C-alpha cells in the first residue's frame, strides 16, 4: 500500500524530495561502500600473505570483492533500466523526472554567477532566428479535419453535450505585428502562459491559487487589463487551481479544456469540473462563463494565429481529477504564426501519445518552439526527435531542474537555445514571432 501511495502521488514535491534524497544516497553508497569493501579486501589480502594457512580469509576476500562489484554496478543498472522504460508508466516517469541534484548548474550560469542566455551552438550571437529553411506546408492541411469524425473514432471518448467550436473564432486573420508568448515564473513547478497577438489574448493554466498573485502582478506590469480566453491543459491542481482568480480578474468569458470526463463529473469534462470546484471553494462566481472542449483536429484563430488541437488522440475517462495519469489527458496544442510554430504539451510526456499524433497528423509535431512536457521532466528520445525544436522552454522551479541527460537529449535533436522558467534560472521568458523570425527574452520584466 505504501508503494502504491508513492506511485499515485509522484507529482508531489514530497515524493520528488524523497526520490531525490534516495538517488543521492544511492550515489553516495555506490562510491563509499565499494571503497570500504576494497579497504577490507586489502586488509584481508595482507593478512593472507602474512598467514597463507588461514583458510577463513579466502571466503571473506571473495565476498568483499563480489559485494564491491555489485554495490557499484546495481545503481547504474537501475538507472539504465528506468531510462529505457516509457515515461507513460507512473513509477518510471517519477524516477526519471526526479531532479539530479549533482549535475553541473554552471551549465546554466555565466562565470559571474548571473543567469544568461543558454546558447547550445557555439558562436550563436543572439536569440534571433531567421525564417526556417524547411517549412512543412502540408502540416496545417493535415490537421484541418472535422472534429466530430475524430471524436467519434475515439473509443475512450464519452458522449458530451459540449460543442467544441461553440464560442471560438473560426475565421483566420492577417499576420500583423508580433505574436507574444510569455512563460511566467511564479516560483512554482507550474505552467502559466500568456499569449497575445494584436488585441486578442489567451491564458493557459496558472498553477496553484497562490501563484495567481504573482502572475497577476506580472500581467499588470506588462499592461494587461483584459484576456479573451482561458485554456486549462488538464485537471491537476498545479495547473488550474489558479483559473478562477485569473478568469474573474480579467473578465474571461470563454474557457476551453479537454473532452475527458472524470470520477464524479458525469458528462461534464474533467477540467471544467475541476475549475468549477475550485471556484466554489474560493467563493468566485463563474456566472456568464461558457465552457468549451477541444478534440483532435479542432482549429480556431486569434487574428493571424492559428491554434490546432493535435491531441491526445485517445483519453482515459473515469480518473480522479488529481490522479497522476491525468497528465496523459493533457491537451497538445500547435500554434502557427506565419512560418513559425510552437507546441504546447501540458504535462503530456507520453511517447505513445506523440506517436499517435504523428501518425494521424504527420509532421505536425515538428516545431520551432517547444514547451517541454511536465515541467522539468524528460520526454523520450523519439519524441524530441519528432519535435526537432530549436527553442525549448522548461516551466519549473529552482529545485526541480531538468537533468543533464535531458539537456543533452534536446541538444542532440536540434535545440539551439533552452530556457528554464525558474526563479534562479531564466525567470520569466518572453518569446516573440513576427511570422518569420523568432526572438527570445529571458528574465523579461517589460
| 156-169 b/e (C-beta count within 10 Å ≥ 16 → b) | ebeebebebeeebb
What distance in Å separates the CA atoms of residue 143 and residue 306, rounded to the nearest whole number? 11
What pLDDT digit, counting tens, does each position of 25-60 carry? 887 888 888 888 888 888 888 887 888 777 777 888
How high is the mean pLDDT of the chain?
Answer: 78
Per DSSP, what are the bridge partners of residue 181? 195, 431
| Domain positions in the chain | 2-102, 139-442
End-to-end CA distance of the chain: 50
What pLDDT digit, counting tens, does each position of 372-424 carry? 998 888 888 999 999 999 999 999 888 888 888 899 999 899 898 888 888 77
Give the mean pLDDT of 253-259.
96
Indicate the burial class of 110 (C-beta count within 10 angstroms; 0-12, 13-18, 19 or more).
exposed
Give the mean pLDDT of 305-332.
93
Nearest alpha-carbon partner for 357 in 325, 314, 328, 299:
314
Give the mean pLDDT of 300-315.
94
Give the mean pLDDT of 143-160.
36
Which of the two residues, 93 and 179, has the higher pLDDT score?
179
What pLDDT digit, counting tens, does each position of 328-345 carry? 999 999 999 999 999 999
Do 334 and 308 touch, CB atoms closer than 8 A?
yes
Q: How confident is the model at residue 5 (pLDDT cuts 50, 70, 90)?
A: very low
Which of the two residues, 278 and 443, has the higher pLDDT score?
278
Q: How confident is the model at residue 119 (pLDDT cuts 50, 70, 90)?
A: very low
What distance in Å separates the CA atoms of residue 4 and residue 72, rounded to the nearest whole number? 28
Is the pLDDT at 138 greater than 90? The verdict is no
3-state SS, one letter per residue, for the chain? CHHHHHHHCCCCHHHHHHHHHHHHHHHHHHHHHHHHHHHHHHHHHHHHHHCCCCCCHHHHHHHHHHHHHHHHHHHHHHHHHHHHCCCCCHHHHHHHHCCCCCCCHHHHECCCCCECCCECCCCCCCCCECCCCCCCCCHHHHHCCCHHHHHHCCCCCCCCCCCCCCCCCCCCCCCCCCEEEEECCCCCCCCEEEEEECCEEEEEECECCCHHHHHHHHHHHCCCCCCCEEECCCCCHHHHCCHHHHHHHCCCCEEEECCCEECCCCCCEHHHHHHHHHHHHHCCCCCCCEEEECCCCCEEEECCEEEEEEECCCCCCCECCCCHHHHHHCCEEEEEECCEEEEECCCCCCHHHHHHHHHHCCCCCCCCEEECCCCCCCCCHHHHHHHCCCEEEEECCCCCCCCHHHHHHHHHCCCCEEEEECCCCCCCEEEEECCCCEEEEECCCC
pLDDT at 156: 40
Is the pLDDT at 166 greater than 50? The verdict is yes
Torsion-angle region of residue 118: left (phi > 0), alpha (psi -120 to 50) or beta?
beta
Q: How confident is the model at residue 145 (pLDDT cuts 50, 70, 90)?
A: very low
pTM, to two decimals: 0.67
Do 377 and 407 touch, CB atoms closer than 8 A?
no
Do 64 and 74 touch, CB atoms closer than 8 A?
no
Q: Which CATH architecture has domain 139-442?
A: 4-Layer Sandwich (3.60)
Give the mean pLDDT of 125-153.
34
Amino acid at each position: 500500500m505504501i508503494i502504491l501511495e508513492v506511485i499515485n502521488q509522484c507529482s508531489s514535491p514530497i515524493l520528488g524530495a524523497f526520490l531525490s534524497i534516495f538517488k543521492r544516497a544511492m550515489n553516495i553508497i555506490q562510491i563509499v561502500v565499494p571503497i570500504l569493501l576494497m579497504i577490507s579486501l586489502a586488509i584481508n589480502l595482507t593478512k593472507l600473505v602474512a598467514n597463507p594457512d588461514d583458510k577463513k580469509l579466502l571466503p571473506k576476500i571473495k565476498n568483499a570483492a563480489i559485494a564491491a562489484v555489485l554495490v557499484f554496478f546495481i545503481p547504474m543498472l537501475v538507472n539504465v533500466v528506468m531510462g529505457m522504460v516509457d515515461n507513460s508508466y507512473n513509477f518510471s516517469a517519477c524516477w526519471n523526472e526526479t531532479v539530479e541534484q549533482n549535475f553541473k548548474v554552471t551549465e546554466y550560469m555565466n562565470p559571474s554567477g548571473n543567469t544568461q542566455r543558454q546558447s547550445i551552438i557555439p558562436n550563436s550571437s543572439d536569440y534571433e532566428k531567421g525564417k526556417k529553411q524547411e517549412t512543412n506546408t502540408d502540416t496545417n492541411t493535415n490537421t484541418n479535419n472535422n472534429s466530430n469524425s475524430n471524436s467519434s473514432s475515439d473509443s475512450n471518448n464519452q458522449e458530451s453535450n459540449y460543442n467544441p467550436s461553440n464560442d471560438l473564432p473560426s475565421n483566420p486573420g492577417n499576420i500583423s505585428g508580433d505574436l507574444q508568448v510569455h512563460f511566467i515564473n511564479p516560483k512554482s513547478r507550474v505552467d502559466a502562459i500568456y499569449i497575445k497577438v494584436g488585441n486578442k489574448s489567451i491564458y493557459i493554466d496558472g498553477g496553484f491559487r497562490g501563484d495567481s498573485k504573482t502572475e497577476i502582478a506580472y500581467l499588470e506590469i506588462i499592461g494587461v487589463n483584459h484576456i479573451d480566453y482561458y485554456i486549462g491543459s488538464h485537471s491537476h491542481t498545479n495547473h488550474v487551481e489558479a483559473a478562477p482568480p485569473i478568469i474573474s480578474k480579467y473578465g474571461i468569458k470563454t474557457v476551453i479544456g479537454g473532452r475527458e470526463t472524470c470520477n464524479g463529473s458525469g458528462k461534464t469534462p474533467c477540467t471544467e469540473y475541476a475549475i468549477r470546484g475550485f471556484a466554489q471553494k474560493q467563493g468566485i462566481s463563474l456566472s456568464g462563463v461558457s465552457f468549451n472542449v477541444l478534440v483532435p483536429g479542432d482549429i480556431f484563430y486569434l487574428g493571424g494565429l492559428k491554434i490546432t488541437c493535435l491531441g491526445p488522440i485517445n483519453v482515459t475517462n473515469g480518473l480522479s481529477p488529481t490522479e497522476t495519469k491525468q497528465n496523459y489527458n493533457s491537451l497538445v496544442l500547435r500554434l502557427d504564426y506565419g512560418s513559425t510554430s510552437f507546441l504546447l504539451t501540458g504535462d503530456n510526456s507520453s511517447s505513445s501519445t506523440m506517436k499517435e499524433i504523428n501518425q494521424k497528423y504527420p509532421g505536425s509535431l515538428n516545431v520551432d518552439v517547444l514547451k517541454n512536457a511536465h515541467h522539468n521532466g524528460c520526454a523520450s528520445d523519439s519524441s524530441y526527435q519528432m519535435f526537432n525544436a530549436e527553442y525549448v522552454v522548461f516551466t519549473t522551479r529552482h529545485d526541480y531542474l531538468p537533468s543533464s541527460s535531458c539537456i543533452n537529449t534536446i541538444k542532440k535533436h536540434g535545440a539551439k537555445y533552452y530556457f528554464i522558467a525558474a526563479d534562479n534560472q531564466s525567470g520569466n521568458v518572453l518569446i516573440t514571432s513576427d511570422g518569420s523570425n523568432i526572438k527570445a527574452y529571458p528574465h523579461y520584466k517589460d
